[in-house]
C-alpha cells in the first residue's frame, strides 16, 4: 500500500519447538528489498526515505481514484 514494510522473524533455531525462518527484511514502497538478513541471529537496519513514499504515491494515485459513489463509510457502535 505504498509504504515501507519491515518483515521480522526470529533467527532460525532447529532445536526449538517452533522453527522460525529468519530472513527479516525491509522493503521499499515499490516492493524492492532494501536490506535483508539470513537465517542467523543478527541486526538489520536500513534507511527509510519518506520522500520516496510521496514519489510512489504521486505515480500511483490510488487515493485520488477512490470511487466514493460505490461505497460509504459507516460508524457502528456496539451495544
* 14-23 pLDDT, tens digit each: 999 999 999 9
Give the predicted TM-score (pTM) of the model.
0.72
Query: What residue has cell string 538478513?
Result: 37
Average pLDDT over residues 30-59: 94
Cβ atoms within 10 Å, residue 27: 17
CA distances from 57 to 5, 40, 74 (A): 15, 35, 26
Percent of the chain scoring above 70 in pLDDT:
97
Domain locations along the chain: 5-59
Phi-psi region of 2 (alpha: psi -120 to 50; beta: other; left: phi over 0): left
Amino acid at each position: 500500500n505504498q509504504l515501507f514494510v519491515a518483515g521480522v522473524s526470529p533467527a532460525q533455531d532447529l532445536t526449538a519447538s517452533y522453527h522460525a525462518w529468519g530472513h527479516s527484511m525491509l522493503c521499499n514502497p515499490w516492493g524492492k528489498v532494501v536490506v535483508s538478513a539470513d537465517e542467523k541471529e543478527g541486526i538489520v537496519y536500513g534507511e527509510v526515505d519518506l520522500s520516496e513514499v510521496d514519489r510512489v504515491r504521486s505515480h500511483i494515485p490510488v487515493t485520488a481514484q477512490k470511487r466514493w459513489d460505490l461505497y460509504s463509510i459507516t460508524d457502528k457502535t456496539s451495544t
